Structure 1
Amino acid sequence: MTYRTTFKYISILSIFLFAIGMGCKEKKEAKIETTEMKIEKPMGLEILIGTYTKEESQGIYKAYFDESTGTLSKPQLLVETENPTFLYQSQNKERVFAVNEVKEGKAISFSWNEDRTRLNPISEQLTGGSGPCHITLNNAQNFVAIANYGSGTFTLLKTNEDGDFLGEAKVRNHQGSGPVMPAQKSAHAHYSAFDDNDKYVYVVDLGIDKVLSYTIDNNGKLGNEQTALQMDPGDGPRHMAFHPTKKNMAFIINEHSNSVVSVSINHETGTFTRIDKKSTIPKNFTEPSFCADMHLSADGKFLYGSNRGHNSIVVFSVSDEGKLDLIDTVSVEGDWPRNFTLSPNGQYMLVANQKSNNITVFKIDAKTGIPSYTGQQIALSMPVCLKF
């Protein structure tokens, strides 16, 4: 074989081997790129997060929660808006409603973009009060109720299926005070809710130690204010929750007395009768603490409440008659648990810790009802509301 022939043979072989190598490299790189795309794609249930925007947060965020593993993804900003401290989703999850907790309070409705990565504003309206801190829809999804903490007022707005606010806001002013100064110097509405039949709307007022009720008709006409329940002086009622299976039972958590009250409901008169009252913090704890949020398990057997200061979740068992028995208090692994939520399958609890800027995840024991910290948490500046 001549030198020229040998060189030609070697050249052809080299080109052939190079081509094979490049092909393998391209296939390998393509495989890696596909794998990275799968990793980056979020999995699980959507959870919306309302925040205070006083520091680093910018508005409403979304994360994904995997109910099979208890893992929570990094939060993503959906929309910039000031102090969206309470959120509510329509029944079909297509509309999101929020308050702007500012001096001249606002209610805003949003719709999703096509891939649910952004929220687009639909409508906004002044609430006619300051510092709105709670918003909810009735069962017919055509009226929005808002509690304005700063001004101690309750607001009713009409809405349609597209999320538009219609007409003028109807505002009711609460009057009175309580013994805890300066917190109860005046009225401070903190929560509102409609009954199952949209016959009554209940408003919990922290400043005057009352739960108030108003009748409401199909046109949104409000009846006169009446006292559904007079709380003990200095209770500072903050939130209310209906029993999930017993339609004649509800619960009220008190910010200042650190307690929970169970009540029976008279659906004809819109009034309550007290059943039981229990403390949410240990007797030997003497530092300042203030209750915040409250939820019940889907079967109604367990009630949970958050303690800001003691920085814990209290766990009660609930009897068929509405009696409360303390089971345990569990550390939230953070500071100032303003709001928390239970996963749809009831197996997990997620807690928004306002001052420690984190959201912590707990696994709930189905038999005892006690949540245990999973070690899973994410960081976010001043989270204060969680909604699946």
Structure 2
Amino acid sequence: MPVLIGSYADQISIFDDDFKPSAPPIRTPSPSYLAFSAATGVIYTVAELDEGHVAAFRSDGTPLGSLPTGGASPCHLAVTDGFVLSANYQGGSVSVFALSPDGALTSRTDLVRHTGSSVHPSRQTAPHAHQVTVRDSMVHVVDLGLDEIIHYELSPAGSLSRVGVTSTTPLGSGPRHLVMHPDGRVFVANELASTVAVLSPGFAVLDVQPSVLVPPVGDNFPSELLLSPDGTRLYVANRGNDTITTFAVSSSGVSPLDEVSTGGTWPRHFTMLDGALVVANQHSDTVTVLELDPATGVPQPGRVVLEHPSPSMVLRLP
């Protein structure tokens, strides 16, 4: 099945499972984050620009149009039934787009802007929406600038109604991304504090742990996090240490198992592919593979499988 590489190099590259080119790249501005609708076979991408927009393409690269987000630097997407949502980092906003039956973008149905700030003197002077996640009719937006996870309900018409907020602790943590466990718990990568938080199904903070086992020499900023299919392992990428940390997940919480090199620099995103982790290393212009030990679920150090300009995301199409 095709493997897509999003990047800051104005292209979406398309490879087979052996990371050999399988189709011409899709040329589009700054496609740093990608999403896919299995129902329609449509690929969605942000254009992470000052005047951000969201674009849609068929899997063969045929464009299906684009629409402005109304916010700057869109950096994350979520696809749900009939809609695509984008998190717009600069200015801290969330956009909702309606889809036609064939998956094309038809209109922007809502734009919600966050307000406020937090305690970090340079990174939290304004809202910075970094991730949008949808579960059923609930939308959860991780805002790094506010130290908050803001909860919305998505209406059938595509409008967002704010229903609650969770403050991450301590202030200055800078939450970036979250992932939801099948048992309802939530794990959050805190970029500014270099920590991983465990939250209850109701988003109460239960525990906070360092995202690395090896103390960083300078700054370390965790980025993507991923649960194993059986929910027993949590993987967290670290930009700075340039590693993946593995945590064991149990009913009592998470405990660190190991930290290994990605084989590249600045791992912005990774995914699981055929029993391995595939990592987009933005600053080394490489994609690396970390084989997983089948007994422990711990990855081996990464090996380069692909040189690619400024990779930012890896997405395997089903």
Q: What TM-score, normalized to structure 1?
A: 0.78
Alignment match of 1:273 (pick from 176, 199, 204): 204
Alignment match of 1:61 (pick from 13, 16, 31): 13
Residue 90 of structure 1 and its aligned partner are, at CA, apart by: 0.4
Question: Is residue 220 of structure 1 aligned with residue 172 of structure 2?
Answer: no
Alignment match of 1:340 (pick from 265, 270, 295): 270
User: Contact 1:127 / 1:169 at 8 angstroms: preserved in 2?
Assistant: no
Match of 1:99 in 2: 46
TM-align CA RMSD: 1.6
The alpha-carbon distance between structure 1 residues 359 and 223, as it changes in their structure 2 partners (threshold 3 A), is same
The alpha-carbon distance between structure 1 residues 254 and 94, as it changes in their structure 2 partners (threshold 3 A), is same
Q: What stretches of structure 1 of length at least 5 have no aligned partner?
A: 1-44, 66-70, 114-118, 267-271
Match of 1:132 in 2: 74
Residue 228 of structure 1 and its aligned partner are, at CA, apart by: 3.3
Alignment match of 2:138 (pick from 187, 197, 200): 200
Q: What count of residue pairs does the alignment treat as equivalent? A: 316
Question: Is residue 168 of structure 1 aligned with residue 108 of structure 2?
Answer: yes
User: Contact 1:210 / 1:227 at 8 angstroms: preserved in 2?
Assistant: yes
Residue 368 of structure 1 and its aligned partner are, at CA, apart by: 1.5
Q: How far, CA to CA, are the matches of 1:333 and 1:77 in structure 2?
A: 27
* Residue identity matched to 1:160: S
User: Contact 1:72 / 1:376 at 8 angstroms: preserved in 2?
Assistant: no
What do the CA deviations read for 1:42-82 (whole angstroms, capped 9, x no partner)? xxx311110002xxxx41111111xxxxx432475421111
Residue 303 of structure 1 and its aligned partner are, at CA, apart by: 0.3
Match of 2:30 in 1: 83
- Pairing 1:154-303 to 2, within 5 Å after superposition: 154-195=94-135, 197=136, 199-224=137-162, 226-243=164-181, 245-246=182-183, 248-266=184-202, 272-282=203-213, 284-303=215-234
User: Contact 1:305 / 1:314 at 8 angstroms: preserved in 2?
Assistant: yes
* Residue identity matched to 1:256: L
User: Contact 1:128 / 1:169 at 8 angstroms: preserved in 2?
Assistant: no
Larger-Rg structure: 1
What do the CA deviations read for 1:125-164 (whole angstroms, capped 9, x no partner)? 00010000001112x2x11111000121111111123122
Q: How far, CA to CA, are the matches of 1:76 and 1:164 in structure 2?
A: 22
What do the CA deviations read for 1:228-256 (whole angstroms, capped 9, x no partner)? 3444211110011111x32x222111111
Question: Is residue 319 of structure 1 aligned with residue 246 of structure 2?
Answer: no
* Residue identity matched to 1:127: T
Q: What percent of counterpart residues are identical?
A: 30
Residue 357 of structure 1 and its aligned partner are, at CA, apart by: 0.3
Residue 93 of structure 1 and its aligned partner are, at CA, apart by: 6.5
* Residue identity matched to 1:293: E
Match of 2:4 in 1: 48
What do the CA deviations read for 1:328-352 (whole angstroms, capped 9, x no partner)? 1100111100001001x4x111011
User: Contact 1:123 / 1:163 at 8 angstroms: preserved in 2?
Assistant: no
* Residue identity matched to 1:156: V
* Residue identity matched to 1:159: L
Residue 175 of structure 1 and its aligned partner are, at CA, apart by: 1.1
Secondary structure (helix, strand or coil) at the match of 2:70 reads coil
User: Contact 1:260 / 1:279 at 8 angstroms: preserved in 2?
Assistant: yes
Match of 1:330 in 2: 260
User: Contact 1:75 / 1:380 at 8 angstroms: preserved in 2?
Assistant: no
* Residue identity matched to 1:63: F
Q: What stretches of structure 2 of length at least 5 have no aligned partner?
A: none
Residue 220 of structure 1 and its aligned partner are, at CA, apart by: 1.9
Question: Is residue 350 of structure 1 aligned with residue 281 of structure 2?
Answer: no
Q: How far, CA to CA, are the matches of 1:76 and 1:235 in structure 2?
A: 41
Q: What TM-score, normalized to structure 2?
A: 0.95
Residue 166 of structure 1 and its aligned partner are, at CA, apart by: 2.5
Residue 182 of structure 1 and its aligned partner are, at CA, apart by: 1.0
- Indicate the structure with greater helix content: 1
